[in-house]
Amino acid sequence: MNAATQPVGVQSPSPALSPAIPEAPAPVALAPSAPAAAPAAPAAPKAEEKPAEVKPQSVTKSLPVNYEAQKTGYWCGPAATRIAMSSKTGDLPSQTALASVLGTTENGTDHVGLVADGMNKLLGSTGAHYVAKDLSSREVSPEMTKELWDDTVRNIDDGKAMVANIVAPPGNQPPGYPSSQTIYHYVSIVGYDSEKQNVQIADPANFGGNKEYWLSLDQLTSLVQPRGYVA
């Protein structure tokens, strides 16, 4: 009997010598992956918050002054100057003395420069200093009105009353003025109301018993434009 021929070099594996094949690990059950979270929707834009409306505070400032009516029909300059000076000193000259200092005659006090010079001379020890503003070459304008307001607020806040040389024709006059005449006059500016933009006047003429009153800033601007004021 012929023996079966085996291919050379190939050995039949012996079951006893076959390497052990490791058992496959038991399959591990995996929990299904959670679906990816949907991207968050963009936040709705916030409505723009408007700042609360700010209303200017009502500020009224009036300086304590020593009022004295003018002693002659042409001493309004000395009397208004004396009233304004009393905001800075209690050592007040008489109207007669002031008339001499300001060069006042029966024709009145010529211009606001004389008032500024007299006040600076007499108030030097108080540290107060005044400047004359001649407006006669300028037209009434918003810039002039603002300049007058700024000067008024700054000086009153600093405790300095002012002097204004006004021209008040019929139809544009402070209270009590003779309505049939144009009045050339000096008055003192002694306070302001910031909410209404009014200016407080001490008037040495005391027309109709109106020694103090309020004027709108616009009206005061129109009254001082022909002459000017001292600030």
Q: Evaluate whether 175 touches 213 at the Cβ level (below 8 Å).
A: yes
Q: What is the pLDDT of residues 126-168, one digit of tens each?
A: 999 999 999 999 999 999 999 999 999 999 999 999 999 999 9
pLDDT band at 116 (very low <50, low <70, confident <90, very high): very high
User: Is the model more confident about 136 or about 46?
Assistant: 136
pLDDT at position 80: 98
The overall pTM is greater than 0.85:
no
pLDDT at 51: 57
- pLDDT for residue 207 is more than 70: yes
Checking if the pLDDT of 173 tops 50, the result is: yes
Start-end of H helices in 16-141: 76-85, 95-102, 112-122
- Residue 61: strand, helix, or coil: strand
Please determine, for residue 87, whether its predicted confidence score (pLDDT) is greater than 60: yes
At residue 59, the pLDDT reads: 86
Which residue, chain included where needed, has tokens 């021929």? 5
Mean pLDDT for 66-80 is 98
pLDDT tens digits along 29-40: 444 444 555 555
CB 204 within 8 A of CB 70: yes
**Helical segments of 75-166, H only:** 76-85, 95-102, 112-122, 142-157
pLDDT at 1 over 50: no
Who has greater pLDDT, 28 or 147?
147
Neighbouring C-alpha atoms within 13 Å toward the C-beta of 17:
4
Average pLDDT of the residues of the chain: 84
Residue with the bigger pLDDT between 48 and 223: it is: 223
Closest CA to 66 of 199, 206, 202: 202
Taking CA atoms, 158 is separated from 6, 128, 190, in Å, by 129, 9, 11
Contact yes or no for 96/194 (Cβ under 8 A): no
| Residue 2 confidence (pLDDT) | 37
Nearest CA among 202, 200, 208, 203 for reference residue 178: 208
Q: Please report the pLDDT score of residue 44 as a whole number.
A: 56
Largest interatomic CA distance in the chain: 173
- Between 189 and 34, the more confident residue is 189
Residue 194: alpha-carbon gap to chain centroid = 9
Please say whether the beta carbons of 133 and 231 come within 8 A: yes
Q: Identify which has the larger pLDDT, 42 or 60.
A: 60
Residue 175 in tokens: 């209270």
The CATH fold assigned to 72-230 is Cathepsin B; Chain A (3.90.70)
Strand-pair partners of 228: 134, 165
Q: What is the mean pLDDT of residues 90-109?
A: 97
